[in-house]
């Protein structure tokens, strides 16, 4: 299930710290069969062991999620962000990079020697970069496709009070342009993916866990620039928003951004490349999310949207979202 991206045992400490998933999809997925998955899913799949209360001085943990839209193409932007912001963990989506070409040395040189990733050439791809060791990496497959859309790992004991927290990194299918599953296979795939994710997650999240990623859904009215105009636009249709909010609510996940900043305040994390002046038009959507398990809700101190990166050279259309916990 895991191993080096290039085969054999790597020679350096930085190389030994990473785990790649080069082969076919592993996990308990059985295609788009939510009923079959529901019978096997349990709450423990989401989280680690419940931790006792701590009385020591609080420690801050920061976890950033960013759909980078090609990690090799935008490696300079990623390294710049890491240098300027120094998150403890960076979760990437849409890396579009085969495992053997993942830029491990560049990240190790920036202090992120612990990396797990699952890649594909030109498509999809997810990765978790950490300043702390990552344990028990896993990748789940959905809808009988060999797509690199999920990876998870557990923070090691070197993370101090954060040790034992399970990190999930997701890249949900975009869904194409037409919000009709009968005529658009991409939209059907997206809805099936969300249904399978709901079944896989089980009833309730247990233990300390964080779920981040590009979920490609703006679930709430004020997560888009115009609720009325986008009701029939993929990413904000009732079918998608209800699916995402249902799976989040059933599992008990807390939407960290809205936990701190309720509606009607607008929050955007994505601005289309198609807009000639994205900043002036400001027609954004909140597609990138950070959720925490209920036991971590009281530790959430900030959710920061790094809007400035959208104006960098050759930017991703998504911007980093950073979750800060005080443990």
Catalytic residues: 171, 214, 318
Alpha-carbon span 175 to 194, nearest angstrom: 11
Give Cα separations from 235 to 77, 86, 94, 218 (angstroms): 26, 31, 17, 6
Question: Can you list the positions of beta strands (E) in the chain?
Answer: 18-20, 60-67, 89-93, 114-120, 123-130, 134-138, 150-155, 166-171, 209-214, 254-255, 270-271, 284-285, 288-292, 300-305, 321-326
DSSP 168: E
Question: Can you list the positions of beta strands (E) in 160-292?
Answer: 166-171, 209-214, 254-255, 270-271, 284-285, 288-292
Instruction: Look up residue 260 and give its two tokens.
Output: 């701190």
Contacts of 98 (CB under 8 A, 6+ apart): 119, 120, 121
Could you tell me which residues are annotated as the binding site for Mg(2+)? 67, 94, 214, 216, 317-318
Q: Is 151 in a helix, a strand, or coil?
A: strand
Could you tell me which residues are annotated as the binding site? 67, 94, 214, 216, 317-318
Closest CA relative to residue 287, chosen from 241, 226, 238: 241
Alpha-carbon span 146 to 21, nearest angstrom: 11
Taking every pair of Cα atoms in the chain, the longest distance, rounded to a whole number of angstroms, is: 57
DSSP 174: -
DSSP 318: B
């Amino acid at each position: 299930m895991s191993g080096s991206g290039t085969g054999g045992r790597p020679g350096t400490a930085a190389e030994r710290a990473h785990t790649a998933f080069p082969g076919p999809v592993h996990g308990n997925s059985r295609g788009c069969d939510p009923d079959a998955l529901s019978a096997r899913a349990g709450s423990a799949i989401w989280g680690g062991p419940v931790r006792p209360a701590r009385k020591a001085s609080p420690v801050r943990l920061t976890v950033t999620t960013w759909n980078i839209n090609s990690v090799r193409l935008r490696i300079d932007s990623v390294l710049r962000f890491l240098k300027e912001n120094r998150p403890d963990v960076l979760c990437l989506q849409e890396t579009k990079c085969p495992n053997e070409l993942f830029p491990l040395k560049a990240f190790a040189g920036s202090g992120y020697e612990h990396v797990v990733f699952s890649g594909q050439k030109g498509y999809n791809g997810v990765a978790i970069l950490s300043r702390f060791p990552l344990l028990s990496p896993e990748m789940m497959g959905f809808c009988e496709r060999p797509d690199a859309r999920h990876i998870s790992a557990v923070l090691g004991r070197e993370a101090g009070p954060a040790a034992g927290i399970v990190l999930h990194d997701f890249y949900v299918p975009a869904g194409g342009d037409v919000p009709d599953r009968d005529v658009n296979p991409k939209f059907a795939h997206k809805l099936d993916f969300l249904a399978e994710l709901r079944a896989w997650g089980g009833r309730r999240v247990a233990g300390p866990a964080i779920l981040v990623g590009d979920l490609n859904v703006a679930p709430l009215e004020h997560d888009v620039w115009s609720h009325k105009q986008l009701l029939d636009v993929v990413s904000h249709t009732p079918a998608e928003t209800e699916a995402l909010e249902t799976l989040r609510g059933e599992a008990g996940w807390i939407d960290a951004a809205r936990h701190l900043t309720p509606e009607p305040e607008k929050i955007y994390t994505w601005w289309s490349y198609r807009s000639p002046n994205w900043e002036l038009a400001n027609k954004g959507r909140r597609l990138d999310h950070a959720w925490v398990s209920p036991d971590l809700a009281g530790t959430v101190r900030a959710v920061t949207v790094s809007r400035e990166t959208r104006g960098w050279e050759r930017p991703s259309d998504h911007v980093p979202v950073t979750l800060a916990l005080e443990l």
